């Protein structure tokens, strides 16, 4: 259950840790698809081996997907690192007023 906002006491909150994971994964997938498409869509004439064996482009597309995926994940990580508030705890975004804050982690249970 999300904590209430410190500004407006609204409980409609978005956990930014979860949003960061989803954003990084989505950026990695989109970057990989763009990288594979750009590396496989060459404008030069096809060689004889490529025209006879269409899967010859597969290694190039895989390398492009890997590089594009890394680039997409890096962009998302940089975006979230600049956007999240400093400090420790779970970051939350209030959907009513737009306030971003960190809710401290609950204390550990005492040892019995």
Which pLDDT value is given to residue 58?
76
What is the SS3 string spanning the chain? CCCCCCCCCCCCEEEHHHHHHHHHHHHHHHHHHHHHHHHHCCCCCCCHHHHHCHHHHHHHHHHHHHHHHHHHHHHHHHHHHHHCCCCCCEEEEECCCCCEEEECCCCCCCCC
| Domain range annotation of the chain | 13-103
- Using pLDDT thresholds of 50, 70 and 90, give the confidence band for residue 43: low
| pTM value > 0.85 | no
Percentage of the residues of the chain whose pLDDT score is greater than 90 = 0
Model confidence band, residue 47 (pLDDT cutoffs 50, 70, 90): low
């Amino acid at each position: 259950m999300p904590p209430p906002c410190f500004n407006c006491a609204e409980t409609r909150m978005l956990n930014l840790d979860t949003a960061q994971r989803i954003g990084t994964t989505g950026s990695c997938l989109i970057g990989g698809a763009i990288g594979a498409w750009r590396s496989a869509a060459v404008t030069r004439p096809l060689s004889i081996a490529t025209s006879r064996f269409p899967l010859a482009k597969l290694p190039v597309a895989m390398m492009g997907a890997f590089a594009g995926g890394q680039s997409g994940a890096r962009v998302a990580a940089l975006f979230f690192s600049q956007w999240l508030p400093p400090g420790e705890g779970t970051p939350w975004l209030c959907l009513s007023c737009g306030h971003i804050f960190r809710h401290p982690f609950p204390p550990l249970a005492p040892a019995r």
